[in-house]
């Protein structure tokens, strides 16, 4: 722990980040508990996997908070090889490793609550299957929307084929699902997970939502459409209540006031054969959770530093955990890296926020800038900020005085600078209506009627300077507005996959780029065919890592196709 930080209360309903270690095996978890630090037992939360884990993150965090409010000590873990936990050993059986993750969490829980109080589990989707097949002595295992490994893998490999999206080709070896790649042997181990509803293990409590819209918004939509359902969460946690013949009196509850988070750990980066150190921080007046990854025993090395910003309202681990991977890859080569949560996003969200709120905010910009300033002060290095989608917009909109003197913006599609536009967009975003449109296969966007045709005609024919004036008023989506601001005090590189690059061209981005370059602005724009918007395809993820490596001078990336522009 860092003695210079004021950690305040350690046991919090909203949770406290900590590393858990057992027999040389380290995972990341959030520990939730009642503020009076007296608990009736423990609950281990086993999350979903890959993109489902990201979509359901808000709901599972609220499950943990609700259980803590009811008097339980809750350990909400991240599976090895995902999110904030360490990488899985190459060639390992993922299910066996995840069972070991549960063992580490179970042992930590038992040490805190003692031998008499119950230790339960709550698992979601494939997490429920892993939980149900664990040999550990859980008293009760609440299995939320459980699924077999075979059904899960079939759903997600089929979803890619049926999506109709212009995605990079599937890599030749192994199996891809959204945001994750497995070797054939690893995929086979996951497919072998049985349907938990067919097991006879004592204490299994399958829970299937009768309202399938609740289930869909829990894990089965894009993250922007996800929405937690507090009544469903409350009913789920209540399934723990009747786990014994009688409820223990409060004077038999465990005192966990002595618990302290473990805030530093070493992780092995197999790609480079070295260890790195990672520290869990709380920055700023509001104690925003942050992770600082650096070479063992060193901080500034002369190689620069990096801040990595996630997309949408996703947690700080980035696009399905990719920024955690990249932070450790960078640190393994001498580049320290920072990842920080933003207000209202990930584990920086309020417990009353059941869906995404506007992440395009000045507050979000300042959260990232806070992380960048801390990183520069700690390392003495100039900072390269890199962000995807919303994260790219936030990096671009950092002030000219920011520690981010170099900026890498991946797949940005938002070119308005005014926060008020995005506030209105998210405030009026009707999740239920969108889901109904998806169900009926009607167009989620504005119908391509006369308004759309009129806007297209104006976009093509309006004099560019008039187009720019309107863009500065946040009426149309004009790339020069954000490019101009981003390049005031920094060198900026914008990278686009095929669809996002097409939008950049349609919104007359090349004209703005040419104007800014003539003014001497340091701006680079490149089309990269391998990038999909959310970095879900394995090839896209590898490409994004290469782009950031190249921006920090760690490698060359010759495959990009630079957008031509006028002199």
Place of tokens 């990269």: 528
More confident residue, 448 or 322: 322
| Environment class of 243 (CB within 10 Å of its CB; exposed 0-12, middle 13-18, buried 19+) | middle
> For the segment 161-210, what is each residue's pLDDT rounded down to a tens digit?
555 555 666 667 889 988 899 999 999 999 999 999 999 999 999 999 99
Q: Tell me which residue of 335, 341, 334 sits closest to 364, measured CA to CA.
A: 341
- The per-residue pLDDT of the chain, averaged, comes to 90
Structure tokens at 371: 């992380």
> Would you state the pLDDT for residue 565?
45
> Would you state the pLDDT for residue 171?
67
Judge whether residue 454 has pLDDT over 60. Answer: yes
> Would you state the pLDDT for residue 487?
97
Q: Indicate the fold that domain 16-148+197-241 takes in CATH.
A: Rossmann fold (3.40.50)
Structure tokens at 253: 């509850």
DSSP state of 548: H
Q: Give the side-chain half-sphere CA count within 13 A for 71.
A: 17
> Would you state the pLDDT for residue 483?
98
> For the segment 212-223, what is each residue's pLDDT rounded down to a tens digit?
999 999 999 888
Per DSSP, helices labelled H in 87-227 are 94-113, 126-132, 149-162, 184-191, 212-219
- Over residues 503-525, the mean pLDDT reads 96
Is the Cβ–Cβ distance between 149 and 159 less than 8 Å?
Answer: no
- At 444, the pLDDT band (50, 70, 90 cuts) reads very low
- Over residues 300-313, the mean pLDDT reads 95
d(CA 367, CA 289) in angstroms, rounded, equals: 10
- Over residues 365-369, the mean pLDDT reads 98
Is the Cβ–Cβ distance between 398 and 322 less than 8 Å?
Answer: no
| Environment class of 480 (CB within 10 Å of its CB; exposed 0-12, middle 13-18, buried 19+) | buried
- At 157, the pLDDT band (50, 70, 90 cuts) reads confident
Is the Cβ–Cβ distance between 173 and 180 less than 8 Å?
Answer: no
Q: Which CATH number fits domain 271-443+478-552: 3.40.50.1820, 1.10.10.10, 1.10.268.10, 1.10.10.1150?
A: 3.40.50.1820
d(CA 367, CA 397) in angstroms, rounded, equals: 12
> Would you state the pLDDT for residue 191?
97
> Would you state the pLDDT for residue 425?
86
- At 420, the pLDDT band (50, 70, 90 cuts) reads very high
The secondary element (H helix, E strand) that includes residue 524 is strand 523-527
> Would you state the pLDDT for residue 437?
52
Is the Cβ–Cβ distance between 116 and 253 less than 8 Å?
Answer: no
Q: State percent of the chain over pLDDT 90.
A: 80
d(CA 196, CA 25) in angstroms, rounded, equals: 26
d(CA 525, CA 495) in angstroms, rounded, equals: 6
What is the location of CATH 3.40.50.1820 in the chain? 16-148+197-241, 271-443+478-552
């Amino acid at each position: 722990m860092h003695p210079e930080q004021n950690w305040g209360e350690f046991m919090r309903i909203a949770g406290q980040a900590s590393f858990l270690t057992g027999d040389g095996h380290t995972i990341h978890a959030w520990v939730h508990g009642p503020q009076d630090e007296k608990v009736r037992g423990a609950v281990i939360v086993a999350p979903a996997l890959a993109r489902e884990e990201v979509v359901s993150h808000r709901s599972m965090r609220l499950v943990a908070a609700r259980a803590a409010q009811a008097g339980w000590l809750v350990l909400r873990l991240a599976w090895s090889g995902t999110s904030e936990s360490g990488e899985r050993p190459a060639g390992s059986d993922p299910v066996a490793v995840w069972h070991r993750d549960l063992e580490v969490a179970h042992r930590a829980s038992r040490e805190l609550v003692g031998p008499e109080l119950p230790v339960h589990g709550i698992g979601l989707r494939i997490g429920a299957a892993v939980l149900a097949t664990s040999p550990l002595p859980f008293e009760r295992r609440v299995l939320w929307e459980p699924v077999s490994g075979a059904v899960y893998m079939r759903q997600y490999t089929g979803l890619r084929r049926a999506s109709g999206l212009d995605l990079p080709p599937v890599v030749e070896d192994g199996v891809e699902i959204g945001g994750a790649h497995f070797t054939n042997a690893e995929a086979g181990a996951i497919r072998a997970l049985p349907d938990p509803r067919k097991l006879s293990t004592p204490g299994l409590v399958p829970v299937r939502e009768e309202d399938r819209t609740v289930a869909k918004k829990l894990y089965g939509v894009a993250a922007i459409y996800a929405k937690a359902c507090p009544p469903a969460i409350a009913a789920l946690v209540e399934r723990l209540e009747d786990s014994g013949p009688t409820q223990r009196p409060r004077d038999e509850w465990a005192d966990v006031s002595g618990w302290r988070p473990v805030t530093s750990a070493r992780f092995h980066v197999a790609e480079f054969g070295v260890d790195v150190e990672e520290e869990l921080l709380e920055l700023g007046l509001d104690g925003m959770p942050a992770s600082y990854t650096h070479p063992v025993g060193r901080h500034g090395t002369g190689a620069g530093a990096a801040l990595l910003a996630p997309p949408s309202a996703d947690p700080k681990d980035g696009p399905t955990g990719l920024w955690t991977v990249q932070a450790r890859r960078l640190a393994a080569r001498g580049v320290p890296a920072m990842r920080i949560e933003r207000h209202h996003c990930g584990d920086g969200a309020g417990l009353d926020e059941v869906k995404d709120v506007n992440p395009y905010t000045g507050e979000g910009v300042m959260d990232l800038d806070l992380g960048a300033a801390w990183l520069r002060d700690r390392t003495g290095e100039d900072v390269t900020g890199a962000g995807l989608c919303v994260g790219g917009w936030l990096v671009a909109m950092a002030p000219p005085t920011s520690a981010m003197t170099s900026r890498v913006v991946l797949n940005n599609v938002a070119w308005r600078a005014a926060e008020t536009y995005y506030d209105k967009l998210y405030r009026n975003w009707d999740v239920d209506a969108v889901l109904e449109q998806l169900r009926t296969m009607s167009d989620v966007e504005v119908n391509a009627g006369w308004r759309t045709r009129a806007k297209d005609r104006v976009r093509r024919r309006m004099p560019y300077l008039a187009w720019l004036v309107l863009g500065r008023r946040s009426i149309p989506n004009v790339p020069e507005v954000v490019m101009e601001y981003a390049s005031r005090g920094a060198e900026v590189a914008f990278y686009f996959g095929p669809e996002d690059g097409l939008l950049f061209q349609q919104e007359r981005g090349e004209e703005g780029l040419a104007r800014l370059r003539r003014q001497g602005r340091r701006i680079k724009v490149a089309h990269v065919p391998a990038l999909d918007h959310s970095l879900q395809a394995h090839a896209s993820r590898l490409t994004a890592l290469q782009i950031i490596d190249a921006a920090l001078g760690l490698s060359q990336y010759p495959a990009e196709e630079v957008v031509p522009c006028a002199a």
